[in-house]
Amino acid sequence: MIGTLRISTGALRRNAKALRDLAAPARAAFVVKSNAYGHGLVGTAHAIEEYADALGVYSVEEGLTLREAGIAAPIMVLGPSPVELLDDALRHDLQITIWDDGLYLETVANIARRHGKTFGVQVKVDTGVRRLGLDPSQAGKAIKRIASTPGIALTGIFSHLASAEELDSAFTLAQVETLNAAIGDAKLDSDPLRHIAASAAAILWPQTRLDLVRFGIALYGLWPSKQTRAACPLELELEPALAFESRLAAVRKIEAGTAVGYGGTFRAPRPMRVGVVPFGYADGIPRALSNRGAFVVAGKRCPIAGRVCMNMTILDLGTTNARPGDRVVLIGSDGGSAVSADDWADWAGTINYEIVTRLPAGLPRSFED
């Protein structure tokens, strides 16, 4: 591919430190699921491990990849763990998530006892998102049963907030109360870590930080929402860690009235020069950027002309003197101009999470301090 993703390890570390300081005295877990939100799983984990009380992944496979790369920090698997991978998860000291105090719990415990070990588990309670988790009305008894099962070490009890980005959310506080009530009903003899806050809640709702905060999007220098950034009561600086760069594959002159791209949705309003960028919607550029977005060439924003293709995007080069082989900044800055993941999200009518996580894993990633 003619291009690369440049990841600033310095920005990742500075963000991690700032967020760890924000969470204190609560602990800080950094979520590196989905290829570290598109930034690169292993490289990101190595960059921020020293600041992490734990790392969060979605799958056992992600956790095993980190262990194979030498990551020693505690790893929480936040998604479902299939039975066929439980032996590997136990062997590599991954904390799995459970929300079943029946057959699945017995399977996990039996595997642990067979190996003469204890299995670290996080118990999830559904307090309002309606995805995974114990029913809160029965969670107390279930948590008690899980905690007292031989072979099981209950390391944490958690939930996930549905509306933390809202500035006046009674539902957020109700979810915290529901989690705390479930833990209280369990009447445990130990004190597993309680956690419910992700980036937005940790920034806007200090009372949600509990014992540990799971920082995701903020680690990568992106704000959970515009509202979160505007309402942040703290002097919190976040640095975007990702830049996406390519090079012009071709430059050509076209006459006024010339149709450009599929469907001819763009017609040249004047004689002009257009450039071809060898990336398209198969490479993570939303097709919704057609005739709306822009990339930076020679220090100037150059609008996308016509529809984004599967593997190519055409730019109006304007008055630049750009030539084939010149650098194109798809996300990042050059000279006095910049394009951000938030810009892409605005043009595409989506959120910055989707923009970065959909950048293909096969794109080369360069980790630079």
CA–centroid distance for 27 within its chain: 19
Active-site residue list = 33, 262
Strands lying side by side in the sheet with 54-57: 193-195, 152-158, 119-124, 94-98, 75-77, 54-57, 27-31, 212-215
Which amino acid is located at 352 in the chain? N
Q: Which residues contact 303 (CB under 8 A, 6 or more apart)?
A: 291, 293, 294, 315, 316
**Element holding 36 (H helix, E strand):** helix 33-37
Token pair for residue 108?
């996990």
CA atoms within 13 A on the CB side of 242: 30
Residue linked to tokens 């899980």: 146
Q: Which helix (H) or strand (E) holds 245?
A: strand 242-247
Interstrand relation of 152-158 and 294-297 (parallel, antiparallel or unpaired): unpaired
